[in-house]
Amino acid sequence: MSFLIAVLLIIIALWLVAILFLRGEDLDQYDRDDDSGACKSFAGKNGPSGEHGKCVASIREFGKQARRMSKQERLGSIRRFMEEMPEGREFAGDFVPVDAGGVPAEWVLAPRADPSKRVLYIHGGAFMAGSHRSHRNITNRFSEMTGAAVLAIDYRLMPENRREDGIADCRTAYRWILENGPDGAGPPTHLVVSGDSAGGNLALSLVAWARDEGLRAADAVVAFSPSVDGVYSSPSIRSNVSSDIMLGPLFGPLLKIPQAIRAWLYLLEFRFNPANPVVSPVLGDLSNLPPTLIQVSEAEMLLDDTRRYVRKARASGSPAVAQSWPHMLHVWQIFYPEVPEAEQAFQEVQLFLQGLE
């Protein structure tokens, strides 16, 4: 009997710790649409393009195959799928390997790119997949539209490495790009930090860290469908599970686990409190941050995470805006140039950056 009581007390203690220390602040107030300038929706008259529909079919087929694989086989398959995305494409720009202070990377240089204008790009892939190569569709387009040199980094991936190793690599690359360009040593005249999904998480965490370190701030931040809340508390995390073709099958099953248990699992897997702003940027101080643009699909689980981040940033005095497209895949920008909505998204990024000059 005493053993059962002891077990019960331990369970209650663990539950209380999760509730009191692993949840972070209540963000419900940022679900209200009180700021008309915070979020803009781009709804097409005719719905998603046919080209986007082909991408959806491809992702669905890949998902069917992946469900029959072991966890290890699935990870290998996802990594191969992402690495093969740029195959067969012709790029006008050059891809130049570089050691960014110990972090493997490449400079992406469109014709006539200005080496003093720089973009630090952090790829997505759930912290477990992706590379500078897998995201060349995005990085090459970034260099073309901005006339900047893009530094695409290969931060260390899980599960071979710890989550904190990837964070450390991003910080190292940030310090390095402040002092080095594709033509040698020298500071940037203009700096943008960008990333998608997991890379968007790292980008938003990075600029807050740079502020706290007193480093030269980025002139702008652009994030595509970033993950910003490890607590997974926003409404769309649940409401968009079925409509999120990419993330729903991967992360939907986690929502069946009680929140307190999920918090402990997060802590054990990543060795971070899920409420720590280093891994959950929306739960940190969002004041004095660079102008920020976040693009997200209205069909994905991370929709309300984006809205919460932007509304909180604006309430904290930081210029930020969210742009959303209905029915799109998670990080549909990577399907440029085939998908028209991807080009539309990049045009909005270009307008945003031009408006800051």
The catalytically annotated residue of 106, 144, 300, 341 is: 300
Residue 52 annotated as catalytic: no
Name residue, tokens 């915070």.
38
Mapping DSSP onto H, E and C, the string for the chain reads CHHHHHHHHHHHHHHHHHHHHCCCCCCHHHHCCCCCCCEEECCCCCCCCHHHHHHHHHHHHHHHHHCCCCHHHHHHHHHHHHHCCCCCCCCCCEEEEEEECCEEEEEEECCCCEEEEEEEEECCCCCCCCCCCCCHHHHHHHHHHHCEEEEEECCCCCCCCCHHHHHHHHHHHHHHHCCEECCEECCCCEEEEEEECHHHHHHHHHHHHHHHHCCCCCCEEEEECCCCCCCCCCCHHHHCCCCCCCCHHHHHHHHHCCHHHHHHHHHHHHCCCCCCCCCCHHHCCCCCCCCEEEEEECCCCCHHHHHHHHHHHHHCCCCEEEEEECCCCCCHHHHCCCCHHHHHHHHHHHHHHHCCC
Residue 84 annotated as catalytic: no
Residue 197 annotated as catalytic: yes
From CA 187, how far away is CA 203, in angstroms rounded? 20
295 bridge partner residues: 224, 323
The catalytically annotated residue of 197, 227, 233, 318 is: 197
Residues in contact with 65: Cβ distance below 8 Å, sequence separation at least 6, in sequence order: 77
Sort strands 114-122 and 190-196 into parallel, antiparallel or unpaired: parallel
Residues in contact with 167: Cβ distance below 8 Å, sequence separation at least 6, in sequence order: 155, 202, 205, 278, 279
* CA dist 199 → 68, 141, 234, 260, 307 (Å): 28, 17, 20, 26, 18
The catalytically annotated residue of 144, 297, 330, 341 is: 330
Residues with catalytic function: 197, 300, 330
